[in-house]
Each structure stands twice: as structure tokens, then as C-alpha cells.
Amino acid sequence: MVILFDQFHLPEDIFEVVFATEQQVIVGRLLVDEFKQNEGTLGKTEMSLFANRLHEGTVMDIIENLGPVKRLKKVKISYNKRQFYDRILTPMRSMGLIDYDMYKKKYLISDKFNNSLKKIGLMWISEINKSG
């Protein structure tokens, strides 16, 4: 997955940097919230149940910004199970936001994303320091 961002207009929300659409941002945030409610790990069964809940539709509160006024709005979010795996979970795993322990058969929140970004930064520093 490729992350394109404008350093001068960087969103406050990491999910808006990682995902292209508003719906993907919401689903990515819901997934991370699910992890947080389960001590940072989800088994394959729990992940499947989460994907099924999304597929069937789930109601959530969205904060709507109307200028200086903010209000809560209940919205039903429905996200196709296959698209969840293809567009949310797989990219989050490939970027290092989520890891999978094959021995424990558990998904877990990971800091590999942060480590990769540090490595990319060092690669850039190395590139600009090369003599031409």
C-alpha cells in the first residue's frame, strides 16, 4: 500500500493518513477500538465475528462538525466482509499496524509501522547525504 500525504496539510487522525475513503477511516478506527476492548489482541474467530457484524451493519455515533457546533449523529455502518479483509485488515497488516502471531493464531496491535517509518526516514537521510 502506498501512503501519499501533504506535509503542509497533514490530518490530525492517523486513519485519515492511512486510508483513502471516509468509510475506510471509520472501519479502521472501529477495528482498532475492537482491539483496545480486547486487550490488544483478537483471535481468528473474534476477527471473523467483527467482520460479520460489519457486514450485517452496526450503528455508531459520529461527531458532526457544523462550524462552531458539534453534534452526535447515529449512523449505520455496513461494510462488506470480503472488502474488510482486502481493504482494511490486509493493508493494516502489510504496513505493520497489525501483526499476526501464527503460533497463537492471534491478531495484535503492532508498533512495526512506527519502526518502518523510522527506517524510511533514515533511508532518506542516507540518500541526501550521498555524494553525487
**What pTM was estimated for this model as a whole?**
0.84
The distance of Cα 55 from the centroid of its chain, to the nearest Å, equals 17
Using the CB atoms, write b or e for 107-121: b if 16+ within 10 Å. Answer: bebbeebeeeeeeee
pLDDT per position as a tens digit, 71-121: 777 778 889 999 999 999 999 999 999 999 999 999 999 999 999 999 999
Q: Which residues on adjacent β-strands are paired with residue 98?
A: 109
Boundaries of every domain in the chain: 7-129
